[in-house]
Chains A and B, each alone.
Chain A
Amino acid sequence: MKKNVLVLSLCTAMIAAAFTTPAHADEAALLQRIEKLAAELEAMKAELAANKQKTENVAKTQQQLSTTVAENTAAISTAAAKSDASASAVAMAQTGSVSGPQTVISSYGEINYTRPRQANNQAQTDVARAVIGLTHRFDEKTKMVAEFEWEHAVTSKDDQGESEVEQLYVEHEIREGLSAKAGLFLMPVGLLNSNHEPTAYYGVHRNFVETAIIPSTWREAGFGLTGTHDNGLTWDLGLTTGFDINKWDGTSTDGSQSPLGSIHQEGQLAKSRDLSMHAAVNWRGVPGLLVGASVFTGKAGHGTTDGVANDSRVTLWDMHARYNPGKLDLSALYTRGTMTGVTALNQTLVGQITPVPSSFYGWYVQSAYQVWKTDRYSLTPFVRYERFNTAQSYTDMPQGLGLTPAVDQKVSTFGANFRIGEGVVLKADYQKFQQDSSLDRYNLGVGYAF
């Protein structure tokens, strides 16, 4: 014990000397000082080793604590006796702990139960999503991100599930505040698309505006540039694949559920004659506040032989804001999309149930407040009102064949998220559809993310 204190004070003195005394021109004195520093290095090495181990463990027992303390004491006492300092080992240990784990597996999943209020026989439970994510850091500046997803539990020729690659890109930091990525990545649009884990949003099902209008989870393949500034401003620019108007199926209802969702390519043998551009700006200068906007535009005809919509263009823009200073969490979003150059296409689809819309839009406001919280649990009720229209306007058609725009859908959602720890959430909500009350439904869900 005495030895411990002696060594400890010796080390302190050494380190103090190292930081404050100027270097001596005298070689012998220099060597002596170096040897002292070597001893200090041993102490630091032991400390770092212990520190690193503790960083990895979360749970601690009394046994572990006392063992660690004893270990530290022993390490410090042997340090003084050691003459060979393996300083490079210390340097490597330093590097290892500063750069963190090289390969990280992440995951999120959600299981939902839905019961229409007026139709018991349509109650349904679904493993909506199971996702595994992989991040691997090659070096300080370069990493790759991958995300793989299974929807609806089972995928086969006879089943309705889907398995897909949601993200697959590499990212490289060009310099501080500027990074570039290439591959299949999420479009920086809206509030939900980049932040779509079940623990990140309120309500069992993702909101309609950001599924029907902004086709979350929306990803494209191409290049992107991201810049961040100290004043809280983040901007994104990108050149990627876009939509394919030739996928529009007038005989299916997919296009009226989500116009862009029915013609997205998702990096699957994606036609790339016509590329799309996007730009996004987000400002988080004030703590708790996010304000942002984005725009995405690109042609969608791809020069198809005998194509009737080769000049068609899809454009989507959005504005969003989120204010989450403490217990209160307010969000608002407005988005609108247009498809131009589809007049001739709609003539060929005349009489079919789903013509191509010229514009579609949606907005919502959402308010949540954390009413109860303990160390581990929290309860946040919320309310959301959304209004959207997947066919707000149509192209002109000859007399007698005019297309009637759809009616705005209005949906109110009331519910609560119950958080367990950091990564688990239980959800319950009730959704009221003003246009068609036969769609009113109760939802329960469990989700996790890590």
Chain B
Amino acid sequence: MKPLAPLSLTALMTISSSAFATQYLTVEQAQQSIFPDANHFAPLPLQLNVEQMKQVEKIAGLPARSVAWRTIAAYKDNALLGYMVLDDVIGKFELISYAVGLLPDATVKQVEILTYRESHGFEIRNANWRRQFVGKTANAGLMVGEGIANISGATLSCTHVTDGVRRIAAIAQVTLKK
């Protein structure tokens, strides 16, 4: 293998440290916040097969959208603490990057917003609003109007993020649940 150019090296470091100017949280910060007890994280490339995608759609009421999902498993020594799934959705005009922390039984542990650029709806980042997701599964309580309150003036943003969390919870239920 040829040695990599210095440019590539820099870019590589950039990716692993994720220092974009408008990001509120990096991936590292997010996983640390969700699993403060973890001492190592392992990426878990998650791929759904056709059968699983159908199941996700049934549970979440939404198409599974992607085959591949960026997942990171959190461990304390050899014990699995849970998973963090990274995803992006469009709010009204802009992309929202967020992470869903899940326990091994596929219940939601925590939701973090990594980047948010819309002019309205910053309240999505409030701990109060995100707390509504904690302890729920895709089966109930993860829908705007049914368990998740709307944010006045940012209906699309909070609907899309809520739908995203529900989808991820369903995926966890189908593929990761132990």
Contacts and interface: CB of A to CB of B under 8 A. Distances in A.
Contacts of A31: 3
Interface string B85-128: 00010101111010000000000000000010101101101111
8 contacts: A54-B65, A98-B115, A106-B93, A179-B119, A200-B155, A284-B152, A288-B149, A327-B145
A141 B155 contact: no
Contacts of B66: 50-51, 54-55
B3 to A, nearest CB: 6
A43 B45 contact: yes
Contacts of A1: none
B149 A324 contact: yes
**Interface size, B (range):** 35 or more
Given A51-B68, A83-B2, A91-B14, A100 B42 contact: no
Interface stretch (B47-55, B76-84, B167-175): B47-55
A287 B149 CA distance: 6
B159 interface: yes
Contact of A72 (B7, B67, B94, B122): B67
Interface in A289-340: 289-290, 322, 324-327, 329
Chain B interface helix/strand/loop/mixed: mixed
Contact of B3 (A34, A72, A88): A34
Given A35-B1, A284-B123, A88 B40 contact: no
Nearest to B90: A100
A19 B15 contact: no
B146 A195 contact: no
Contacts of A226: 119
Interface residues of A, number: 84
A258 B131 CA distance: 43
Contact of A16 (B20, B23, B42, B155): B42
Enumerate the 4 nearest inter-chain pairs by beta-carbon distance, A residue then B residue, closest first. Answer: A288-B149, A100-B95, A87-B8, A287-B149
Interface stretch (A57-65, A123-131, A204-212): A57-65
Contacts of A101: 90, 93, 95
Contacts, number: 182
Contacts of A39: 1
Contacts of B97: 98
Interface string B1-21: 111100111011011100011
With most chain B CB atoms within 10 A of its CB, the pick from A34, A137, A288, A290 is: A288
Interface of A: 8, 11-12, 15-16, 18-20, 31, 34-35, 37-39, 41, 43, 47, 50-51, 54-55, 58-60, 62, 65-66, 68-69, 72, 83-88, 90-91, 94-95, 97-101, 104, 106, 135, 137, 140-141, 145, 171, 173, 176-177, 179, 191, 194-195, 200, 226, 228, 230-232, 234, 284-290, 322, 324-327, 329, 370, 373, 375, 422
A137 B151 CA distance: 24
A322 to B, nearest CB: 5
Interface in B117-175: 117, 119-120, 122-123, 125-129, 131-132, 145-153, 155-156, 159
Contact of A290 (B14, B45, B63, B153): B153
A9 to B, nearest CB: 11
A85 B4 contact: yes
